[in-house]
A = this chain, B = another copy of it.
Amino acid sequence: MSLTDSAPVDVARSASLASRHLATLSNSARNDALTALHQALDRNRDAILAANARDLEAATRAANDGSLNHSVLKRLDLSRPGKYDDMLQGILNVRDLEDPVGKVTLRTLLDEGLTLERVSCPIGVLLIIFEARPEVIANIAALAIKSGNAAILKGGKESMESFVAIANVVSEAIAGSQVPVSSVQLVKTRDVVSSLLAQDSFIDLVIPRGSNELVRFVKENTKIPVLGHADGLCSAYIHSDAKIDTAVKVVVDSKTDYPAACNALETLLVNEEVLESVFPAVAEALLNKGVSLRCDSASKAVLSKTLTAGQLAQVQSATEADYDTEFLDLVLAVKTISATGSPESAVEAAVAHINTHSSKHTDIILTESRELANLFMNSIDSAGVFWNASSRFADGMRFGFGTEVGISTNKIHSRGPVGLEGLTIYKYLIRGNGHGAGDYHDGAGGRQYLHKSLPLSD
C-alpha cells in the first residue's frame, strides 16, 4: 500500500502492472499480507484513532457551521463502540474465506486430448471512491488483496487525516509481504476524481462508496463499469393473509433499525383487506418509534378512526413524489393495494408498483402463502426479494460474505451485497496437443466434438 500524489495516469499504470503480478500469487501469499495488514492496524490503533479524532473535530466544526451534513459525523467516527474492532475482524474474516481465485466452474472434454476449463481470476484494477467512512480503506484493501485485484483508493477530504494515518501504517505492513506495493494505492491529491475516471485503459471497475450524488456523478462521468447503487428505495407489501406479529416485526425493523441505510424501508404497500386489521398495529408500532407516515387517502382514513389526535400529528397525506423518495429518515410512504380480484392479482398490483418505483435494491412480501411468496419473488426485479424478513438483512456481513464491497443494483456482473466473488471474473483455458479447429466438420474425414462434461475437480 502506498500513499501517493502521483498523476492519475501514473497511479493507474502502476496499479495495472502490479495487478499482473498480484494475479499470479498463491492464496497463502495473499493471506500473509492480510495477516500483516491486520497486525499493523491493531498495533497502531491509538495513532489512527488520534488522527480520526482530528478529522472528527474539523467535521464537527463544519457541521455546526452548516457547511457539512451532521450525518457525516457518525460515518466518520472510527471510535464508536465496536467499529474499529469490526474493521479489524473484517480483515481476518476475509482472509479466512475460501480463495475466490482459481476456482474451476466448468470443465468439458472437447475431443480426445482437448479439454476446456473455466477458471475464476481477478478482474484487474479497481478504483474505489469513498467519502467519509475511513474503515472502507481496510475493507477494500482486504477484499482487493484476497481477490488478487489491485486497488486505487480515493477518499473524501473529511477523512483525510484518518486516511493518511491508515495509509502510513499499512504501507509498511504490505511492503514486508509478497504483494506488490503498488497493489493498493491511496491517492491523496485533491480534485483528481475526474482524471482517475478517465483511465479506462488501466482501470477495470469503479466502486463508489458514499452519497447518491457521488454515485450519480461517477456513473455519469466514466466509461469504466461502475458497481454500486445510487438509491435504496425498498418496499414492503402486506398481503391480506399476513400475520400481525410478523408484519409489525418486519416492517418496524426494516424502517427503524438504521433509517439512514440503503436497505431501510421507504414504502409500505398494504392490501386493502387488512387496512383495518393488520395495518393499524403496524402503524402504531412505527409511530411509537418516531416514524412519520405519508399515507394515501384510504390508509389515512383508517388511521383517523383508530389513532389519537397526538398520534395523528405524525400522519400526513402522501404525494405521488413520496413513492419515489428515499427518505433515509424516520419517514415512510404508505399506499393501499386494491383487493378486487384474485389474491394473485393483488400481488401483481404490488409487483407493478414496486417494479416501477423501487430502485431494484430489496423488497419484501408479508404473507403466509408460499405460492404467493414465490410469485412475488419471481416477479420482482430487484437484487433482493425477501419473504417475512427485514430488508435490513441485505448486507454482506449478514449474508456471510465476511465483508462487502458495497451493494449493487446493477443488472449485470454482480447484484446485491458484493463480496469476493463480485471482484473476480474468469478465463477459459484450453489444453490440447496440436489441435486445429479446421479438422472439425461434417464432411469426409471431419472430426466431431465430444462436448463431454467432466468433473470439476481433477
Complex: how many Å from CA A388 to CA B435? 7
Instruction: Name the CB-closest residue of B to A374.
Output: B429
Q: A327 on the interface (CB 8 Å rule)? A: no
Chain B residues with CB below 8 A from A414, complex form: 412
CB distance from A138 to the nearest CB of B (A): 20
**What separation, in Å, do the CA atoms of A121 and B123 have in the docked complex?**
23
A400 touches B438 (CB 8 A): no
Contact of A245 among B253, B412, B434 (CB under 8 A): B434
Candidates B382, B384, B431; contact of A387 at CB < 8 Å: B431
Q: Is A435 within 8 A of B250, CB to CB? A: yes
Total chain A interface residues with beta-carbon distance under 8 A: 80
User: Provided the pairs A385-B429, A434-B250 are in contact, do residues A24 and B390 lie with their beta carbons within 8 angstroms?
Assistant: no
Contact, CB under 8 Å: A430 / B386 = yes
Kindly list chain B residues whose C-beta atoms are within 8 Å of the C-beta of A394.
428
Which residues does chain B contribute within 8 Å of A253, judged by CB atoms?
436-439
A114–B400 touching, CB < 8 Å: no
Contacts of A72 in B (CB 8 A): none
In the bound assembly, the distance between CA atoms of A236 and B219 in angstroms comes to 37
User: Does A412 lie within 8 Å of B116, measured CB to CB?
Assistant: no
Residue pair B432, A412 in contact (C-beta under 8 Å): no
Which residue from B82, B378, B416, B432 sits with its C-beta under 8 Å from A386? B432
The reply to whether A413 and B412 form a contact with Cβ atoms under 8 Å apart is yes
Interface status of A173 (Cβ within 8 A of chain B): no
Residue contact A205 to B398, C-beta cutoff 8 Å:
no
Chain A 408-443 interface residues, beta-carbon cutoff 8 Å to B: 410-417, 425-440, 442
The CA of A139 and the CA of B261, in the complex, are separated in Å by 43
Complex interface: chain B residues within 8 A of A74 (CB): none
> Is A61's beta carbon under 8 Å from chain B?
no
Closest B residue to A426 by beta carbon equals: B415
Interface residues of A in 332-387 (CB under 8 A from B): 351, 355, 373, 375, 377-387
B257 A389 Cβ-Cβ under 8 A: no
Q: Check if A110 is an interface residue, CB within 8 A of chain B.
A: yes
Q: Give the nearest-CB partner of A380 in chain B.
A: B427
Q: In the complex the two chains form, what is the Cα distance from A384 to B442 in whole Å?
A: 26
C-alpha gap A449/B121 in the complex (Å): 30
A399 within 8 A of B: yes
Query: How many Å from the CB of A86 to the closest CB on chain B?
Result: 10
- List the B side residues contacting A114 at CB < 8 Å: 389, 393
- Which residues of A in the span 278-295 have a Cβ within 8 Å of any Cβ on B? none
A188 to B249 alpha-carbon distance, docked (Å)? 53
Q: Which residues of B contact A249 (CB under 8 A)?
A: 434-436
The docked-state distance in angstroms from the alpha carbon of A363 to that of B134 is 41
Residues of the B chain whose Cβ atoms lie less than 8 Å from the Cβ of A381: 20, 23, 124
A383 partner, pick from B20, B390, B427, B440, beta carbons under 8 A? B427
Given known A-B contacts A249-B436, A437-B253, A205 and B412 have beta carbons under 8 A apart: yes
In contact, A379 and B23 (Cβ under 8 angstroms): yes
- CB within 8 Å for A250 and B429 given contacts A411-B204, A413-B413: no
> Given known contacts A243-B434, A373-B431, A438-B257, is B108 in contact with A411 (CB within 8 Å)?
no
Q: Name the CB-closest residue of B to A225.
A: B412
Q: Which residues of B contact A392 (CB under 8 A)?
A: 436-438
A160 contacts the other chain (Cβ, under 8 Å)? no
Tell me the smallest distance from the CB of A242 to a CB of chain B, in Å. Answer: 10
- Among B384, B427, B431, B449, point to the contact of A388 (Cβ < 8 A): B431
Knowing that A110-B399, A227-B412 touch, tell me 12 more A-B residue pairs with CB under 8 angstroms.
Answer: A23-B381, A225-B412, A249-B436, A386-B430, A386-B432, A387-B430, A387-B431, A387-B432, A393-B435, A412-B414, A416-B427, A416-B428
